[in-house]
């Protein structure tokens, strides 16, 4: 009998969760499942800001894909997807090609630079393990160099973060804790270091609960972070950035700009010929692409409207994993030929953002506000829960966060 071929692209939150759910639902004889990912490891994208600041070693944020998949049921291919050809049921990889009966696109996000001059060339982004390692090493290198040059260069100690959304804020929280350690290590007066965050909106964390925004602002400012709100980052050069606020331009000299001001779907989606809306596939309620019935899209590559707010759901790991549950259910239902197809319905578990070790803000259980230690504890529970959903208690014990105090 010809087994249907399922190909899953990407082993992030969406793709790996779909895979581990599918391997539980389908028997060896039901389908041929192939998972493709650039690396032989999965990384927790939601921890990358900690790796970038150097407060958590990057090996803590990643684990081998083969340790969580059933290799008797899933064929794992480490390769890079270069093209998706949905009209031919085919995917092109750097080192080969694959045909499928069903495809799951879960290739995640890329930084959105909105055509701002110089950003692509000169700014760093927090998008994967190696980008995060580069940021950590670049900051440390500049601190190390500062006292070893005849002419002291302030731009080595100015660190700019573009964007005060959740990524920017979480990174600032870690960085504000890391800088005093670096200063001690490299004999630098902490007063010389500037951490500057540029945010275009009139407030940090636009749209989030104002009381918690105030809490985050106070927590970060108390640790030395300078905020420039209502200020657009307009240009990034090797020597600094240009911002514009109230029609006035200002140059800030820096060798370190971290761009954390937004994400878009993996650009392979836009190039694939799948019908898309600004680079994302506006999926049907069952998570299939409207133009191709045998293609599912989950995670940051998918777009689903929140009917209450009339805005798309934000790209989050929480949503990617919930979509993966539905995708795995629907795929196994289609293959087994029995049961009902499910529609995606978001179950909001809340939002908690870290402000560095021991501090955080969040809204849980609908409208309960939490902050400080309680929120920091909750954030670790959420991080560990994501590990549990993919690799069970074994993975939590291996990679989980237990350093609460």
Mask for 150-189, x = binds ligand NAD (CB under 6 A)? ------------xxxxxxx-x-------------------
For position 61 contacting ligand FAD by CB under 6 A, the verdict is no
Of 355, 328, 298, nearest in space to 53 by CA:
355
SS3 (DSSP) at 149: coil
| Total chain residues near ligand FAD (CB under 6 A) | 33
| Total chain residues near ligand NAD (CB under 6 A) | 26
Nearest 5 degrees, angle CA 214-CA 218-CA 222?
170
For position 353 contacting ligand NAD by CB under 6 A, the verdict is yes
Mask for 319-358, x = binds ligand FAD (CB under 6 A)? -x--------------------------------------
Per the structure block, which two tokens stand in for 104?
């799951």
Which helix H or strand E contains 233, and what residues bound it? strand 231-237
Choose among ligand FAD, ligand NAD, none what residue 203 binds, the Cβ cut-off being 5 to 8 Å by kind.
none
Choose among ligand FAD, ligand NAD, none what residue 206 binds, the Cβ cut-off being 5 to 8 Å by kind.
ligand NAD
For position 12 contacting ligand NAD by CB under 6 A, the verdict is no
Task: Quickly count helices (H) and strands (E) in the chain.
Answer: 9, 28
Report yes or no: 240 and 251 within 8 Å, Cβ to Cβ: yes
* Greatest CA separation for the chain: 74
Which sequence positions are flagged as catalytic? 170
Mask for 21-40, x = binds ligand FAD (CB under 6 A)? ---------------xxxx-
User: Minimum distance from CB of 65 to ligand FAD (Å)?
Assistant: 9
Nearest 5 degrees, angle CA 224-CA 136-CA 221?
10
Give the number of C-alpha atoms closer than 13 A to the C-alpha of residue 380, restricted to the C-beta side: 17
Report yes or no: 162 and 233 within 8 Å, Cβ to Cβ: yes
Which parts of this chain interact with ligand FAD (CB under 6 A)?
Answer: 10-15, 36-39, 42, 45-46, 48-49, 80-81, 106-109, 126, 167, 170, 266, 268, 299-300, 315-318, 320
């Amino acid at each position: 009998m010809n087994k249907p071929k399922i190909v899953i692209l990407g082993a992030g939150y969406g793709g790996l969760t779909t895979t581990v759910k599918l391997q539980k639902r389908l028997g060896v004889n039901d389908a041929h499942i192939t998972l493709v990912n650039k690396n032989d490891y999965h990384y927790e994208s939601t921890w990358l800001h900690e790796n970038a600041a150097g407060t958590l070693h990057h090996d803590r944020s990643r684990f081998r894909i083969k340790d969580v998949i059933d290799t008797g049921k899933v064929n794992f291919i480490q390769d890079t997807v270069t093209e998706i050809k949905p009209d031919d049921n085919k995917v092109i990889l750097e080192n080969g090609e694959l045909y499928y009966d069903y495809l799951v696109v879960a290739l995640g996000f890329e930084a959105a630079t909105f055509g701002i001059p110089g950003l692509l060339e000169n700014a760093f982004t927090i998008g994967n393990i190696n980008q995060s390692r580069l940021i950590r090493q670049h900051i440390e290198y500049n601190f190390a160099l500062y006292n070893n040059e005849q002419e002291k260069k302030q731009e080595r100690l100015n660190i700019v973060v573009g964007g005060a959304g959740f990524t920017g804020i979480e990174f600032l929280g870690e960085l504000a804790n890391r800088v005093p350690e670096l200063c001690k290590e490299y004999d630098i007066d902490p007063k010389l270091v500037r951490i500057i965050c540029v945010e275009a909106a009139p407030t940090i964390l636009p749209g989030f609960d104002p009381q918690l925004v105030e809490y985050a602002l106070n927590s970060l400012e108390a640790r030395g972070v300078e905020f420039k709100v209502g200020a657009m980052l307009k240009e990034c050069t090797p020597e600094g950035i240009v911002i514009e606020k109230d029609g006035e331009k200002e140059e800030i000299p820096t060798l370190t700009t971290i761009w954390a001001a937004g994400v878009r779907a993996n650009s392979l989606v836009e190039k694939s010929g799948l019908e898309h809306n600004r680079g994302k596939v506006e999926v049907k309620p069952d998570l299939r692409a409207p133009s191709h019935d045998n293609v599912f899209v989950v995670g940051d590559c998918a777009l689903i409207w929140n009917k209450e707010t009339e805005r798309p759901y934000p790209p989050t790991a929480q949503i990617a994993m919930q979509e993966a549950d539905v995708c795995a259910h629907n795929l196994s239902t289609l293959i087994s030929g029995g049961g009902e197809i499910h529609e995606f319905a978001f179950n909001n578990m809340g939002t908690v953002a870290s402000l560095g070790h021991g501090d955080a803000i969040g809204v849980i259980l609908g409208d309960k506000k939490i902050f400080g230690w309680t929120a920091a504890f909750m954030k670790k529970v959420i991080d560990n829960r994501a590990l549990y959903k993919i690799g069970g208690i074994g993975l939590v014990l291996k990679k989980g966060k237990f350093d609460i105090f």
